Structure 1
Amino acid sequence: MRKSLGVLLVSVLALSACGSGDDSSEDRTSAAASCAPSSGPVNLTYTTWIPGIENVVKVWNDKNPTIQVKVQTGPNGNGGTYQNFFNQLKAGNTPDLGHIEYDALPSFRVQDGLFDVASCDIVAKAKDQFIPWTWNQVSFGDEKSAWGIPQDSGPMALFYRADLFEKNNIPVPKTWDEYAAAAEKVKAAGGYITNFSQSDINQFAGFVWQAGGRWFANDGQQWTVNLTDEKTKKVADYWQNLVSKKLVSTVPPWTTEWDNAYNSSSAWTWVSAVWGANSIMSGAPRTAGKWRVAPMPQWTAGEQVAGNWGGSATAVFKNSKHPYEAAQFALWLNTSEEALALLNKEAQLYPATTAGTQYSYLGNPVKFYGDQKIYELFAQAAGQVTPDFTWGPTMTSTYTDASDGFKAAVSGKGTLNDALAAAQKSTIDTLKSQSIPVKE
């Protein structure tokens, strides 16, 4: 499946390149083959939303006076940075490097916005340093290409308020049935078991990933879109029930109101990815020491399956005048122990390299989580993520369409399954409008 994904994206790119004016395929091929060191000092720009990234980049700049990197920070990808990237691509003024999540990479690839860093000899030699499934996320199954350097992965688990569960004699749920039962008890105690995101569909995709739903597939010739398969419907029905019974809050994520829900003990859990540790630490400082992490609730008791939410790559945009140096920085950022340790300290990122998962700092107790060694649990979760989840080529628009429907559903207008059905139709229409082969 992964190999056909790579082949299909190449064919899609060829279709989208037709009638593209001066930017011919020959020009792009020539540019991709020209990954060679620049002469003289180099200044690079890098746009990301990683907390504390300035401290990491400073280490690079101090050690590399002839290759300086300027950091530009912005909102998370779906919060605006991706749209900025697309606008910059049209204007021809993108940064040299950009932070792009795995699920969004195909959208940029189809728009011919990325430089194939596999053409840089230093990248080709580094492939074996990465966990295989993360490399597939940037290569789309094509062994000769790489549209970014894997940075992190997002295995999911259950963040929960240990003090509140203990005080109210509520067992920490191990299954989704137990989670729903706990939601009733939490509501009776005056809280919400969690906040259901009405706009960040990436989290819902992680729930579907764990449940075995598969939204996209291809056979090397055309895409199949299925946002309404039985596993997805099961997940949607589950959360619709909690929403309808008002057992979950539905405030917009990544807002002050969202932070306050966790900081005020209104929301008791969050099923999130490893990077979520930082979100709680920064958004709910008054709750330090009260949180713990447990495995993600299971659909069947005794199973050990995790979803994945997020995971990112450091991509080089095709407009970069210094792709070799950009790739050199991206490799350092995502393979050196020094940089990976800082990324974990500043943003709780979980590395995508095989060596990174063995670094001693991942075994350190985390004070905010009651000195629990949370990364050991996430290391287990990373091995419980099934690797065969395929992202579609227009995920940014798919997320937007689904989000519109989710917002309506939480306000009582339709259901989550209605929203997914509408998003499926709009996704197929979007693929057709871009001349991307899709099965009806």
Structure 2
Amino acid sequence: MIRSRARWATAGLAVTALTSLSACSADASSAGASGDAEPAGPVTIEVWGWNAETGQQIVDTFNEAQDDVTVEYVLQASNVATQTNFRNAMEADSGVPCLVQGFAPLTTMVVNGWAQDITEQVEGSTDLYNEGALSAAQVDGRYYGLPTGSDGQFYMVNQKTFDKYDVEVPTTWDEFVEAGRELGAHGIDITNLAGEDPSGLMALAQQAGAEWFTIDGDQWVVNFTDDATLAAADVYQPLIDEDLVSNQTYMDRPALYKYFDSGKMASTTTQWWSLTGLQTNLPDSAGDWSAHPIPQFADATEPVTPGRTLPSFVPEGCENPEAVVAYADWLTTPEAIEAGRNKETGAVSFPVQIPDASDYVEAVIPEGFFVDDKVAGEEILAAQEQVIGKFELGPNYDAWFPELQDQWGKAVAGEITLAEALTAVQDFVASDLDDKGIAYTVAE
């Protein structure tokens, strides 16, 4: 199917969704005595993003490939600038684009009335996307986002350190804890838990099957203390209690990388996009790292990979969502992926939204970093094939995430348990939703 879609990139995108666009895109003009109207030009859509390196050249290639849709790319300074500019445009009801790179959880966009339902447009081309990408683009079973893809996590270990102390690479989270104890006896930390960063706990909860927010009719169901979330907490709690992890902060990157590079941290979870930075900043341990499947929970019926995203979306008020989806579909083609190649570095962005990205994985593996590049590529691909994508963050993420950071920091410091931290966050969410007048229940 990808090949057939690639053909319409060079054949004027001869598909119904696009060929019908120009007919309704612009003011009709007179066509001879018959008075039949002919289209005055292609549909024009404005796209906002902050890809300063290749965003414009991708759009230029799309515009040259067909005549039915013209994309105007408006470069934003950053994620934060996009939020500010978008809020201003929505409040003014002027200058609202047709496609915005995701800058906040999709539910926030839906609750605020910013993202429109594009289910009808997306359902015609779901075969172009992997399951994780499709899942992440939905709220309550409807597509409010575009399936732009989630980055699947894999497990990276310092193989030299594991081999030195004759420790087996864990395949389950129970084994991960035991490996932490074995390595801890030699003064080696199994991983790093930064006090300001609860993302690891969120990833484990997602992998375990937790659902912190679900939708039940016209109200939210809040549940930060279900069995799955507590199973995730039970992975980290003994490591914290027994002082088997480090707490290097991301606020001091040089010190963090020096620690990673020292061999005193044995493993971490990561994603493909981190690898270039790791190669640059871990010169002493380059060649010592090996890629493995992320550990699974012991009761898992099939391997799943944590990974979530902030999908791009079509704002309310855009009159041409079918043109936006046509553009998004084109981004899955080889022509589009090649158009994203950085002209200075030669790097190609890894297409995390497509079902089979094997043709592109070699390009994201840094030379000389892994023990085995082929295995690393296989693990990156497997992570994408198994990525969950969906992890609902509710209607008030901006309010509760800082509270989670605060409670996580206390737990990592040993002041409270992770179970207590999660209960505190749930209480905070309930209070905040009360204040905002948002209907909810707390799961029993």
TM-score bucket (shorter structure): 0.7 to 0.9
- Give yes or no for contact 2:43–2:323 (8 Å, CA) kept in 1: no
Q: Alignment partner for residue 416 of structure 1, among 415, 418, 432?
A: 418
Cα 1:148–1:250 change in 2 (3 A) is same
Quote the residue 1:61 is aligned against: 60
Give 1:99-138 correspondences, 5 Å limit: 99-100=101-102, 104-117=105-118, 123=122, 125-138=124-137
Give how far 1:243 is off: 2.0
- Give yes or no for contact 1:363–1:376 (8 Å, CA) kept in 2: no
In 2, Cα distance between equivalents of 1:88 and 1:282: 39
Q: Alignment partner for residue 213 of structure 2, among 205, 212, 216?
A: 216
Quote the residue 1:332 is aligned against: 330
- Give yes or no for contact 1:210–1:305 (8 Å, CA) kept in 2: no
- Give yes or no for contact 1:199–1:407 (8 Å, CA) kept in 2: yes
Question: What SS does the corresponding residue of 2:305 show, helix, strand or coil?
Answer: coil
Q: Does 1:166 align with 2:163?
A: yes
Q: CA-to-partner distance for each residue in 1:393-428, whole Å, 9 max, x for gaps?
A: 333433222111111222333222222111111212
In 1, Cα distance between equivalents of 2:23 and 2:190: 51
Q: Does 1:306 align with 2:304?
A: yes
In 2, Cα distance between equivalents of 1:206 and 1:343: 30
- Give yes or no for contact 1:43–1:68 (8 Å, CA) kept in 2: yes
Residue type matched to 1:427 in 2?
V
In 2, Cα distance between equivalents of 1:387 and 1:326: 21
Quote the residue 1:71 is aligned against: 75
Going by fraction, where is helix more abundant, 1 or 2?
Answer: 1
Quote the residue 2:153 is aligned against: 156
Question: What SS does the corresponding residue of 1:313 show, helix, strand or coil?
Answer: coil
Cα 1:330–1:376 change in 2 (3 A) is same
5+ residue gaps, structure 2, are 1-20, 27-40, 65-69
Give how far 1:282 is off: 5.1
Give how far 1:225 is off: 0.9
Cα 1:383–1:55 change in 2 (3 A) is closer
- Give yes or no for contact 2:114–2:316 (8 Å, CA) kept in 1: yes
Cα 1:276–1:439 change in 2 (3 A) is same
Question: What SS does the corresponding residue of 1:270 show, helix, strand or coil?
Answer: strand
Quote the residue 1:402 is aligned against: 404
Quote the residue 1:362 is aligned against: 361
Question: What SS does the corresponding residue of 1:401 show, helix, strand or coil?
Answer: helix
Give how far 1:86 is off: 7.2
Quote the residue 1:377 is aligned against: 379
Give 1:37-48 correspondences, 5 Å limit: 37=25, 44=46, 46-48=48-50
Q: Alignment partner for residue 181 of structure 2, among 184, 195, 207?
A: 184
5+ residue gaps, structure 1, are 1-32
Give how far 1:162 is off: 1.7
- Give yes or no for contact 1:201–1:399 (8 Å, CA) kept in 2: no
Quote the residue 1:261 is aligned against: 259
Question: What SS does the corresponding residue of 1:271 show, helix, strand or coil?
Answer: strand
Quote the residue 2:202 is aligned against: 205
- Give yes or no for contact 2:107–2:393 (8 Å, CA) kept in 1: yes
Cα 1:90–1:179 change in 2 (3 A) is same
Question: What SS does the corresponding residue of 2:192 show, helix, strand or coil?
Answer: coil
Give how far 1:329 is off: 4.3
In 1, Cα distance between equivalents of 2:145 and 2:387: 21
Larger Rg, first or second structure (1 or 2)? 2
Question: What SS does the corresponding residue of 2:181 show, helix, strand or coil?
Answer: helix
Residue type matched to 1:265 in 2?
G
The answer to which of 286-295 and 313-322 deviates more is 313-322
- Give yes or no for contact 1:211–1:232 (8 Å, CA) kept in 2: yes
TM-score (norm 1): 0.74
The answer to which of 238-247 and 300-309 deviates more is 300-309
Percent identity over the alignment? 24
Quote the residue 1:426 is aligned against: 428
Q: Alignment partner for residue 251 of structure 1, among 245, 248, 251?
A: 248
In 2, Cα distance between equivalents of 1:384 and 1:338: 26
Residue type matched to 1:259 in 2?
Y
- Give yes or no for contact 2:306–2:389 (8 Å, CA) kept in 1: no
Cα 1:375–1:182 change in 2 (3 A) is same
Q: How many residues align?
A: 393
